[in-house]
Structure 1
Amino acid sequence: MLAQLIVVLVQYGRDPQNLARLLLERETGAIAEGLSRHGERLAFQLPPELAERYGTSASGYVARVRTASGVVLYSQCDEECTEHFLPLDLHPPSFWMRIITPGYPLTFAGGRTVEIGNRSVFIEIAVASDPQRAVWNVLGEEALDHMLVPMSLTLIFVLGATLFSIRSALRPVRQQAEQAERLDPLKSDARLEEAGMPLEIARLAGAVNRSYARTRDLMAAQKLFTSAIAHEIRTPLAVIRLELERIDHPAARRALGELDELGHFVQQLLTLARLEAVDRTGFEAVGLDDLGRETVEALAPFVYEQGASIAFEASSNPVVMARPSLIRDAARNLIENAVRHGGPGVSIKVGTDGGPGLFVQDDGIGFDPAPPAGDAPGHYRRAGGLGIGLEIVRRIMALHGGQLETERDAPRGTRARLVFPTEDVPLTPAR
């Protein structure tokens, strides 16, 4: 647009006669705004904005307004009128112009006929110099009328079309981004769609798919490594336990207790390894009351043997989409945590709520809400615990799209809650 503006200005600048004609038309049109008619009588009042130019002498501009019969309605003329204007007794033409001195600054004289009602009025002007730079006003109006306005409209349409084209071109990118947000790296078929995409987007999607494949391979290798180590450790642990059971000594009894803790830790490692291979497509509608009651009944003997107590508090049997065995494992880990780390005689209550959620609450010694240095955010350790049981619970809930919430329970104790996502599920739970 700037280049075209410069070209237009240069073209007009090379043709001073055309500029003089445009200035004559503009000035006579502005003077004609002062004409009025009262019956058959014509009157003229110089517009205020032209007073400085045509209302004073020696301004470099002169003007005369007269009827076709030679009656002068307005005149600012001196000897220049006689020199440059047409005689009063000459019937005026519709338009005339004469260049006084070729080139710049513009010097010319001319006039044109305007109609007001059925009467003709002849307006003449002469420009001996252009101290008010009226020619620049003409150039500005020409640029505005013939270039800036059309090109601005064109620019608006071009920008609109460009933005539409960009949005259309980037739509596949947005779709791929939305699909990437929904990808689950634990699913074996998690991948971005490459078919039907522009070449560049398809390449990006292919790179993401390959990255996911490498991540799944690493996770599979880690699971295999963890599982193999856990299986290798279980056999020597069993042998050591058999040998310790043959020794009748208090130190052997204490070693057996430590060995049981180690065996429990190995079992939890195996559980973590198995979680990585869970297929989420096998989820089903589960009633949390039914599941919680079954878990409490199964663990009650273990709880009572440890000198603790346990009770179940049912609600409206909220239904969630889940793998029942995994939710039982999560609830069992929370209950075992309460028994092992809640202190002697701890009282445990298991219940459900309409969140939907399942909670395990105890009146034990609680936990330290500030994680030790090096622990990941959101982790905590019970007194004397390793925290791996809670990590299992967290991963189980992550698989279900939920989370584990833990908090102190006033006046003492801990409340752990399995929070499930709110979603539409069948009203009849599967057992």
Structure 2
Amino acid sequence: MLSRLSIRSRITLGSLAVAVVLLLVALLVVRTQVSTVLASADASLAQSDLESFDKDVTANPDETLDAPGSGILVYVRSPGGTVEANTLPRDILVPILGRDATDEQYMTTDDEGRTFVVVGRTVQTSAGTWAMWSARSTSSNELALRGLDAVLLVGGLLLLLGFGAASWLLATAALRPVSAMRRQAEQLGEGATDAQLPVGRTQDELSELATTLNRFLSRVQASSAREKQMVSDAAHELRTPLAVLKTQLELAHNDFGDADALARQVGAAEVSVDRLASLASNLLELSRIESHEAAASTSTAAVLTDEFMGSVDRARMLALDKSVAVDFTLSPIDDGAEFRIAAQAFGRLVDNLFSNAINAVDDAGTVRATLTQSERRLLLTVSDDGPGMPDDFVPVAFERFTRPDASRATSTGGSGLGLALVRALAREAGGEVSAENTHPGLRMSVFLPKM
């Protein structure tokens, strides 16, 4: 039932429940204290009623006692057993008759239901021991307590009403930032993709929640922007090779009577299909890495070295058509050192760097690769003696679908995803990649930290 109520209502009801318990305890304590004080006052008054008789019998034990004043309820018995004064009601007197003299105090009730406090006292004189009792009705105290109960009840209800209203207002004020965040969140759902939740001025839990949610929104918005940009870029990149492939297939239809021409068109179409397949594969790999869907994997330095050597062999095969020399340097490594990257992913990383370098250099150029290991990281460098990159392109070289001038990419028909994939693989392993012009040439450096 409570789960269906608003937080404000639950806070108010919870506060009222606590207030009711505390108020009941406080009222009971107050009433008990007042009742004790009134009962003590009645006993004191009863004791004071005996004071004058006590003084008389002490000073003049043989003289006759003065009659009690109006409304004074006493019973005085001499040492000889003679009743010297008696104004007690019969219901109060009966238990006292024949009672031995003693100092005492007790409560009793008459046949009409009225309660009395009775005080007994003994007085030692030269003539013997006098026995005295006095009584005081507690009716006035009971009336006072009933009046107090009414006051406490009405006052308690008013306090609870005031406390409930205050709790509601305080809860409303405390939850006002939540309402503001909710309204702002509704705007987010209406297309305000760059909006942020309002953060209060006070450094409290709600402002911390708003800050955390804003960071989350920023990540979601950035991810959404990247996805939109990726879709847009992919559509743009796919448009040209698809148009080329369509043209090549149309030309192939026209060359059905010419086997050589048909073979050339089919071969050109295969190149376009390969480019489309590579583009789709790289896009899928990038999406998988950036969404962290790839399963965590580790490899030893020995395994990564084997992948590096395999990449060198593949690069040399790729470089045969251009007579490009592919050299490598392998420094001593700790075979047992582990790195947070799969062997296949490391091989793809190295292959992309080799492919970019080979495509960048002229015929008979040189590509050099080194793999070294320090105490904390594995360092891979791939350099070439080509024209390098424009200086203003270096900062964006690892962005998706970016290309430098024609000297490095246009002629090769690259998709602009190779270096983006290299950076994604390196960062997934906790490392980083950088590019640097060496005049002439370009050096790509990748470092991977040890686990």
Which TM-score band applies after superposition, normalised by the shorter structure?
Answer: 0.3 to 0.5
Bigger helix share = 2
Q: TM-score, normalised by structure 2?
A: 0.40
Q: TM-score, normalised by structure 1?
A: 0.41
Specify the structure having the higher radius of gyration (Cα).
2
